[in-house]
Amino acid sequence: MSGSSRIVERSKKNIKDAMLELMYEKEFSRITVNELLVRAGISRGTFYAHFANLEDVRQQLIDDLFDYADSIGANYKPSELAKDPYPILFLMADIMTKSADPTKRLFKFINAYDIGRNLKTWLTKYILSDEVLVEKLGGEDQARIYARFISGGMMHVYNNWMADDIKAEPEVLARALCNMLMGGFNGVIKE
């Protein structure tokens, strides 16, 4: 990476880090460009060289989250996760418990609808990439429905967990989600 590329990447990182810090302090709608400039230690020109506006920074944070999800998902075929989703569900929960990780901040402070919409798109694309799994699910239409159902439910649970509405250790959360995904209600009801 050349020196100018490193400077550009460092400026973008400073802007995104400053946005995350400000989002801890106040609602996104109350953050101003001037506040962000001061927090990031950059000029207005530098900001606008990289981002069109604050919403653009916010969307980049969401995109970064899904780029990270892609890197995790690259290690697993969807059909492998369909057999045992626990490792990835635990990994996601564990990542979110680390306060320094932007994932936790994103789930807690960015509109859950926006992340949920992106999660549905990402998970649908991920599931549809595995032709064997799509066939086992009954075809592309059914696979899309399952992906949207799973992503909506998981997004809701993770979002409530991050907001401390659900008290559970990462292992417990991941196991509960895994059991629900693997067997529906029949898989979790003990008789």
What stretches in the chain show pLDDT beneath 70?
A: 1-2, 98-116, 185-191
What element of type H or E holds 41? none
Any idea of the CA torsion for 106, 107, 111, 113, to the nearest 10 degrees?
130
Identify which of 99, 4, 93, 102 has the alpha carbon closest to the alpha carbon of residue 57.
102
Burial 66-80 (b: 16+ CB within 10 A, else e): beebeeebeebebbe
Q: What is the predicted pLDDT for the residue at 94?
A: 76
How much is the pTM?
0.67
Which pLDDT belongs to residue 100? 41
Fold of 1-51: Arc Repressor Mutant, subunit A (1.10.10)
